[in-house]
A and B are shown apart, each in its own frame.
Chain A
Amino acid sequence: MSYLLQRLAHSLVLLWAVVTILFLMFRLMPGNPMAAYISEALNDEQQQLIMAQFGLDRPLHEQYLLYVWNLAQGNLGTSFFRREPVWSIILSALPNTLILTMTGLVLAYAFGILAGAWLATKRGTLAEGILVPMALATRAAPEFWLGMILLTVFAFSLGWLPAGGANSAGMFFDSELHRIFSRDFLLHLILPAVTLALYLQGLPLLLMRSTMLEVLHDEFVTMARIKGLSEWRITLHHAARNALLPVVTAFALGLGATLGGNVVVETVFSWPGLGRLLVTAVSQSDYPLAQGAFFVIAVVLIVLNLVVDVLYGLLDPRVSHGRS
């Protein structure tokens, strides 16, 4: 319990620090955010509203306190460009991003773990000679470029899958759940999710392979072999279970990179998620929206890391919690 509280406090401090950096980053940027607000697109009343909301005429430290206060109340401001609350824009994009990320991660780790375990038993074969450099190459490739290749092949040349977006134009759904479980949505999900998975699978594959290679030399594997168990049974039941832990760690550490890296995949496939929202907001100088999107990405990251940390501690009793 005290471990949990300690982790929670750590996460909160981290969150506060990220918020502070965010504040400084957007305030001290060359080019005043005011320049974007003061526009013919907004009437005087709206300008007054926004200025009062953010207190942009006050000194920096007061602005900072006001900003933290607003955030603590869940007020992310109003999008300059769309003139909607930032919070509601983000809420509509968040499910798309989470579904894409999770699908990509699950595909990548399912494939990577199995392929890695299999490859460990194929030491020195042609399969190893081809697949290991391939795994390295997909890790070295820009994810958006992998997406461009898949898009050209499967959407433009073969015409099997839709080229972008999360739903076909003109589709309406009763609820968010209906939308997400519709055939249309799933068809749109395939290419971006596979792109993400292709990019991500290299790490679990290589990691699983190398830890398997170590484990396969352990005594309990030799014991299993003496008992006359089949190779497949030894690989899966005895070795793989023990090789999984480093992969779980990598999964946790990879969450952050994945969520951030989504930005480019979402751009390639016009996927209406948080990353694309951030890119559009930055290109439109929509400070509140960009700041909000960045904030939510950072929060999701910190929360996921906290959850994984705690779960990890529960799963592996060897992890020391420093209960001194």
Chain B
Amino acid sequence: MAAGRAGAAPGLTGKLARLLRDPFTVAGLTIYAVLIIVAVFADQLMTHDPGEILFRANGRVASNQPPSAAYLLGTTNLGRDVYSQLIGGSRIALVVGFTAAICVAAFGTLIGLLAGYFGGKLDAILMRLADLALAIPFLPFAIVLAGFSRSSTTNVIVAVVLLLWPNTARVIRAQVLTVKERAYVEAARVTGASDARILFVHVAPNILPLTFLYGSVAIGWAILTEAAVSFVGFGDAKNISWGYMLQDAFVSQALSRGSWHWFVPPGLCIILVVIAGFFIARGAEDVLFPKLRS
């Protein structure tokens, strides 16, 4: 029944409607929507300044407080509000995740288009580059890049983009190889359309859904990478990310003190955002590329 209706409404709107009926996709999109809303209204949602050291009424530092009405998720060992840090962390997750994903998707798509369309030497060179990028240990590379230079959030994004584009590029290239043999591409060529026009007007629009698919997975990878780099101590101390919170908790003996309220929430937030990417990719694969799953 559902397939019949979708068949009657072909094209992107039909596919979009089917996407929105997939529970996984809806769950993923909802998580992203919440993340964006929280990040945008972070200033209103925070109860304290995430970096501020808080004091109790008796003038002592409010360190290691359990969750309460005043401190929704308690405080850190230096008297900072965990809840406010968590809210603030959503901004960094959003910036890191989306910037990296957009760059990975754009870069990977462009290379995949060029390699697939022109073939030959260019293809060979670009695909060998892809092999090389995949041969470099991912996390160590990000750590070295972030650790040896200072403004690290940017470097994490650079590392993610440098090593993650091949996955996208390979799939896009494969797709271009089939699309460029289609009749309408041939027709465009016969009418004398330039390579650039064929590539960007006729081929690229057919690849776009794949670009979004890989982009949505890249969001999760970027956030996980940022968290890992921050955790081993090469995060940007000015940006209190979820990874940074976990590192702070770890080195401050929050584990042996059993401060669950401190180190559990950031981990759960990371899981939610990363899993949203998986969900969307899963739903999109089913709907847009049923053949990919076989």
Contacts and interface: CB of A to CB of B under 8 A. Distances in A.
Interface string A264-305: 100110000001001100110100001001100110011001
Contacts of A282: 143-144, 147-148, 234
B83 interface: no
Contact of A298 (B137, B150, B250, B294): B137
Given A14-B132, A140-B271, A145-B270, A267 B231 contact: yes
A275 B136 contact: no
Task: Using C-beta atoms within 8 Å of the partner chain, give the interface range for chain B.
Answer: 35 or more
A170 interface: no
B258 interface: yes
Nearest to B263: A148
Contacts of A149: 264, 267
Interface stretch (B88-96, B100-108, B173-181, B220-228): B220-228
Contact of B144 (A140, A148, A156, A294): A294
A141 interface: yes
A158 to B, nearest CB: 11
Contacts of B256: 152, 156, 163
B139 interface: yes
Contacts of B150: 30
A144 B228 contact: yes
Contact of A137 (B143, B147, B231, B275): B275
A142 B145 contact: no
A21 interface: yes
B278 A264 contact: no
A278 B143 contact: yes
Interface of B: 131-132, 134-141, 143-145, 147-150, 220, 224, 227-228, 231-234, 243, 246, 249-250, 255-256, 258, 260, 263-264, 266-267, 270-271, 274-275, 278-279, 293-294
11 contacts: A18-B135, A26-B144, A142-B227, A144-B246, A145-B263, A261-B139, A261-B228, A263-B143, A264-B231, A285-B148, A298-B135
